C-alpha cells in the first residue's frame, strides 16, 4: 500500500446535540479527541424515576424529537439548544418549562442534562450494573430465541466500563468518539431488505463516506475492511477501531420511517449485527464535506 493514497471522500457530517434525538447535517466541523464532532451528544435525557441517563434503547420516543444548536458549540460544555417536540412546537434548553414539557412528551418524569466532567461518576452510573452482558445485548437488540449473538473476538478497547456506567464518564457516547458509515454499506444493506426504508438516520453516523476497499475489486462493507488502519480526513487523523454492533434502535420509528423489525433480522442474518465502524480520534482538527480520505498507515 502507498501511504497517503486517497481511498475515499467525506460526503456528509452529522451531529446530534441531544443523545438519541434527531440532529443536524452540517458542512464542516472541528473534531476533538474524546468528543468527536464538536457538539455531538453534548446533552442527554435523564429518566428521573429510573435514576439514570437513558437513550432510545429504553425511551424510543426520543427518536421523534429533534435538536439544533442556537449558538456554535464548543468542545467543553453544552451550548444552548432548541428542541423540536414532535408536535410542531419548540423549546430552548434554558426555558424553565423544559422539564415539564419534555416529561409530557415522553410520558415520564425526565430532565435534560448537559454533559458533565468525567469525575462526576455518579451522574453516569447505571441504576443497576450489567451483570449478564449476553442477556443485555439480547434485550437491547430484540433478538429472537433462535438468533445467536455473533462471536466478537477480543475487542481492541476495554468495553467493561459500560457495565457500570451508561456511557464512559465524561461523554454521552455509547463508546466511540465517532461513528463512520459508507454509502456502499448502506446501499448493500438496503438491497438485502428491499421492502424496508434504509437511510443514514436509521444508524445515526457522524461521518458518511464514499470508500474504496483495501484490495482489488469491490467489497460490500468497505469500512470494515479498513478496521485496524489509520486515515486522515482534512486535518484530522483517525483510527478505524472496530465494527459497530447494531441494536434495535435501528428498527424504531422516526418521523418518516416506520418501525421495522426486518432490519434487525437482516443485521443478524447478513452482517453479524455490524454496520459501520467505531472510530477513535488520534489527532484533532477540522473536516469539511468533500475532504479526501487518505491512508495514513502502511
| CA-wise closest residue to 38 among 166, 177, 175, 233 | 177
Mean pLDDT of 51-67: 95
Q: What rounded mean pLDDT belongs to the chain?
A: 93
Q: What is the pLDDT of residue 168?
A: 93
Q: 184: which 3 cell numbers?
A: 456502499
Q: What is the pLDDT of residue 3?
A: 63
Inside any domain, residue 48 = no
Q: Is residue 68 part of a domain?
A: no
- Does some domain include residue 71? no
User: How do residues 279-291 score in pLDDT, each as one tens digit?
Assistant: 999 999 999 999 9
The dihedrals phi and psi of 286, each to the nearest 5 degrees, come to -115, 140
| Residue ranges making up the domain that contains 227 | 6-37+130-295
Model confidence, pTM: 0.94
- 96 vs 157: which has the higher pLDDT: 96
Q: What is the pLDDT of residue 298?
A: 54
Q: What's the domain count of the chain?
A: 1
Q: What is the CATH number of the domain that holds 136?
A: 2.40.33.20
Q: Percent of the chain beyond pLDDT 90? A: 85
Residue 271 lies in a domain: yes
Residue range 172-217, pLDDT digits in tens: 998 899 999 999 999 999 999 999 999 999 999 999 999 998 876 6
Residues 225-269 pLDDT 10s: 999 999 999 999 999 999 999 999 999 999 999 999 999 999 999
Inter-CA distances, 115 with 5, 51, 155, 252, Å? 38, 16, 26, 25
> What number is the average pLDDT over the span 149-158?
76
Residues counted in the chain:
298
Amino acid at each position: 500500500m502507498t501511504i497517503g493514497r486517497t481511498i475515499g471522500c467525506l460526503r456528509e457530517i452529522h451531529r446530534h446535540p441531544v443523545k438519541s434525538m434527531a440532529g443536524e447535517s452540517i458542512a464542516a466541523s472541528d473534531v476533538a479527541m474524546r468528543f468527536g464532532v464538536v457538539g455531538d451528544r453534548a446533552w442527554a435525557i435523564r429518566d428521573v424515576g429510573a435514576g439514570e441517563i437513558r437513550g432510545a434503547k429504553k425511551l424510543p420516543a426520543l427518536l421523534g424529537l429533534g435538536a439544533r444548536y442556537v449558538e456554535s458549540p464548543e468542545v467543553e460544555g453544552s451550548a444552548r439548544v432548541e428542541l423540536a417536540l414532535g408536535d410542531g412546537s419548540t423549546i430552548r434548553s434554558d426555558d424553565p418549562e423544559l422539564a415539564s414539557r419534555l416529561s409530557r412528551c415522553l410520558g415520564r418524569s425526565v430532565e435534560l442534562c448537559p454533559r458533565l466532567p468525567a469525575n462526576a461518576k455518579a451522574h453516569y452510573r447505571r441504576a443497576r450494573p450489567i451483570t449478564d452482558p449476553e442477556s443485555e445485548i439480547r434485550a437491547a437488540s430484540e433478538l429472537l430465541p433462535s438468533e445467536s449473538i455473533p462471536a466478537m473476538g477480543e475487542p481492541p478497547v476495554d468495553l467493561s466500563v459500560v457495565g457500570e456506567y451508561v456511557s464512559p464518564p465524561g461523554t454521552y457516547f455509547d463508546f466511540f468518539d465517532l461513528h463512520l458509515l459508507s454509502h456502499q454499506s448502506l446501499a448493500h444493506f438496503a438491497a438485502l431488505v428491499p421492502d424496508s426504508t434504509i437511510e443514514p438516520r436509521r444508524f445515526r453516523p457522524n461521518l458518511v463516506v464514499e470508500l474504496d476497499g483495501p484490495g482489488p475489486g469491490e467489497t460490500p462493507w468497505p469500512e470494515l475492511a479498513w478496521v485496524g488502519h489509520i486515515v486522515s480526513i482534512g486535518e484530522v487523523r483517525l483510527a478505524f477501531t472496530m465494527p459497530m454492533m447494531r441494536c434495535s434502535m435501528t428498527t424504531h420509528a422516526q418521523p418518516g420511517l416506520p418501525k421495522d423489525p426486518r432490519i434487525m433480522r437482516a443485521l443478524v442474518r447478513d452482517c453479524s449485527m455490524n454496520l459501520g465502524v467505531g472510530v477513535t480520534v488520534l489527532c484533532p482538527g477540522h473536516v469539511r464535506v468533500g475532504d479526501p480520505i487518505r491512508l495514513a498507515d502502511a
